[in-house]
Structure 1
Amino acid sequence: MSAGRESTHVSSLGKGDSLHQHVLASFPLCDLTEEDLTQNPQFCKLLATLTQHVDQTGLTVPLKTELDKAEQKLQSQRRQWLRSESLHKGLQEMIQDHCIRKHHATTPPDQNMFFETMEKSLLVSQCIRQLDLSSTTNQDQPSILGLTPHHVMELMPLEKNVQRMKQGLPRELEKHLKKKCLSLLSYYQPEWEGESEGLKSSKLFHLSAQLDKEKKRAESLKETCRENSVLLQRQTQLYLSELIKCIQLLQSLILDHRLRIQTDLDRKKLDYFEGKCELVLQKIKTEMVEIQLDTYTVDSISAHKKIREKLDSELKACQAEKQSVELKLASFEILGKDFEALAEEYCRLRQEIEMKNWALKEFTQYNDK
């Protein structure tokens, strides 16, 4: 039954973008995007169900109630402390102002007595609070310098002076606080500083409401700023994800384009290098012709060409003869080692015949002489 109620609640929140927007608005502190919720629909439904049990900060409803009560109690105690602290600070400021006035001008004796009595009373009260051990857990804690509150009470001014001070204190405190409020009013609205005392007092009654209005406006702007910050962060994440997709698409397009034009680029480079090599070869030939023209005459070059042609023809003839001899030698080598012995014997006989022919020729020439 609970599952049916939760599904009914989730379906009542909306579908698609409306559900996603509701979840994102309910959990602004979570680092979630609409794409995350789209890719995880069950998780999105879980968050949508949790919205009826927790607030935007992640606290449950009972815990939030207890926290609000504790916050109210804390605020009440804080106001009480601030009230007493403000009163104490105000009295100290009054004493300081009196000391300053006393050094710059002559003050009436009764006024001096009033502030001296107030200063001594404040000091005695402060010392009594420091010496009061009733609020401590350790009752055996030794007193400071062996003093007790009773010892300090002996330093209080005379009772009649204290009573006279208490009677005049509200009036003096009111004057001091009014002076501070007027200073605050002049700081808040400098253009009102030249107004009359009555008009300032009238506007002073509305100062609290104006300050409260300004405070609410500042809190509203702060909340708007926080929402804008969350929205900006979410939009930044979306922008970065889209930017990454665009970069990946651009990289794929660049790669495809590069592969497509690589063949044409290589062919053009090959044609360029072939043309450059042909140009270098032509330049080398031109340099060789120039060197020949600078070194030899036209007749010498013609004679050298004829000699070269004759030598080339003789070289070709010798190469052809060498090739035929190598073929014959290869055919003779097929006959084996027996033919090698016969060939050596034939060479020996040829050498002997040549020697005898030479000797015969020499002998014949000698006889003719």
Structure 2
Amino acid sequence: MSAGPESTHVSSLLKGDSLHQQVLASFPLCDITEEDLTQNPQFCKLLATLSQHVDQNGLTVPLKAELEKAEQKLQSQRRHWLRSESLHKGLQEMIQDHCIRKHHATVPPDQSMFYETMEKCLLVAQCVRQLDPSSSTNQDQPSVLGLNPQQVLELMPSEKNVQRMKQGLPRELEKHLKKKCLSLLAYYQPEWENESEGLKNSKLSHLSAQLDTEKKRAESLKETCRENSVLLQRQTQLYLSEVIKCIQLLQSLILDHRLRIQTDLDRKKLDYFEGKCDLVLQKIKTEMVEIQLDTYTVDSIAAHRKIREKLESELKACQVEKHSVGLKLASFEILGKEFEALADEYCRLRRDIEMNNWALKEFTRCKDK
């Protein structure tokens, strides 16, 4: 297999400094950057060679030729369909305009006959097309309402009226289309609406060329916009990659700087917190002293001192009494369990005596009442 032209092309590209830009321009839809091509030179050569066999959309040269041929055929069929469809729409618009005029003014009988004949012909032709299966449909399909095209053709107007309608149709259709073209001209260039008929006709003859120029200009602007969009996307990727590199560099600088000053920063923070803790402790002590000064005045301190002395004397007396009672209990414990039973009996009798005394007092008080 000979690779002479391809190798010659690649070598010619490698001689220049814009190989990467040419590859990126040849494949604008690929998400690759110049850095990717720099890191992968063999892949860059492969893309440079591949660009001779495919277009910017990834289509091969034979496939692109077939696609263009199919596109031309499609455009031809589309123009044929649009021609017949626009003619049909124009005839329907003429019929609608006639119906509107008929409701607002008196229409001559021959003109009414012309439009009625045309409307009937259109309806019959539409029905025949619906009933007559084409080559792409099933020939055995059921008919609508049991009708066939021949039966519908019998509803056509008389041959005389049809011939008369056909003779006047080109003139009426020309008037209608000219009216629509003038409306389009008035919409496209409103300043020409009040000009003379001849000037409008002259301007109308150049309208299609102007519209074609405007269409080509719009397509050119759209293509330029698409190229600018691709370029903007590529530049955005480059910008983001550079920003990421800058952020990583800043992070490394910040980390190194932080590690160097971390010890001094920790020591300063420790000194700060120690000083703040001492200040808070001194403030707490000050608040406690202020609370004590506000709570214990000279009179309250003297009163508390007297209360303390009295409580201490009572405490001493209670301690002496506790000591004597403890000695008595110790002497009683020497007597053993028999004395404990007598003590319990004594306590029970004391409770009974107290209960009887209380009952006697209550009885006496109730008796006196």
State TM-score, norm by structure 1. 0.74
Deviation per CA, 1:290-343: give whole Å up to 9, x if none.
99xxx9xxxxxxxxxxxxxxxxxxxxxxxxxxxxxxxxxxxxxxxxxxxxxxxx
Q: Secondary structure at the match of 1:110?
A: helix
Deviation at 1:48, TM superposition (A): 0.4
Q: Structure 2 unaligned segments of length 5 or more: list them.
A: 297-369
Closer/same/farther in 2, CA of residues 149 and 271 from structure 1, 3 Å limit? closer
Partner of 1:181: 181
Counterpart of 1:145, as a letter, is: L
In 2: Cα distance, 1:118 partner to 1:98 partner: 11
Counterpart of 1:66, as a letter, is: E
Deviation at 1:123, TM superposition (A): 0.5
Partner of 2:260: 260
Indicate the percent of aligned positions where both proteins have the same amino acid.
89
Deviation at 1:208, TM superposition (A): 0.3
| Stretch of structure 1 that moved more, 167-176 or 131-140 | 131-140
In 2: Cα distance, 1:268 partner to 1:96 partner: 93
> 2:21 aligned with 1:25, yes or no?
no
Deviation per CA, 1:81-128: give whole Å up to 9, x if none.
000000000000000000000000001000000000000000011111
State TM-score, norm by structure 2. 0.74
Partner of 1:157: 157
In 2: Cα distance, 1:280 partner to 1:85 partner: 94
- Matches for 1:1-369 after TM superposition, within 5 Å: 2-15=2-15, 17-273=17-273
In 2: Cα distance, 1:205 partner to 1:262 partner: 84
Deviation per CA, 1:213-260: give whole Å up to 9, x if none.
000000000000000100111011111111111111111111111111
Deviation at 1:268, TM superposition (A): 2.4
Closer/same/farther in 2, CA of residues 89 and 267 from structure 1, 3 Å limit? same
Counterpart of 1:224, as a letter, is: T
In 2: Cα distance, 1:287 partner to 1:134 partner: 107
Counterpart of 2:8, as a letter, is: T
Deviation at 1:11, TM superposition (A): 1.2
In 1: Cα distance, 2:223 partner to 2:230 partner: 11
Deviation at 1:285, TM superposition (A): 10
Q: Secondary structure at the match of 1:2?
A: coil
| Stretch of structure 1 that moved more, 219-228 or 275-284 | 275-284
Deviation at 1:16, TM superposition (A): 6.5
Count of residue correspondences: 292
Deviation at 1:137, TM superposition (A): 4.5
Closer/same/farther in 2, CA of residues 54 and 287 from structure 1, 3 Å limit? closer
| Stretch of structure 1 that moved more, 209-218 or 271-280 | 271-280
Closer/same/farther in 2, CA of residues 214 and 286 from structure 1, 3 Å limit? closer
| Stretch of structure 1 that moved more, 278-287 or 33-42 | 278-287
In 2: Cα distance, 1:91 partner to 1:234 partner: 53
Deviation at 1:5, TM superposition (A): 4.0
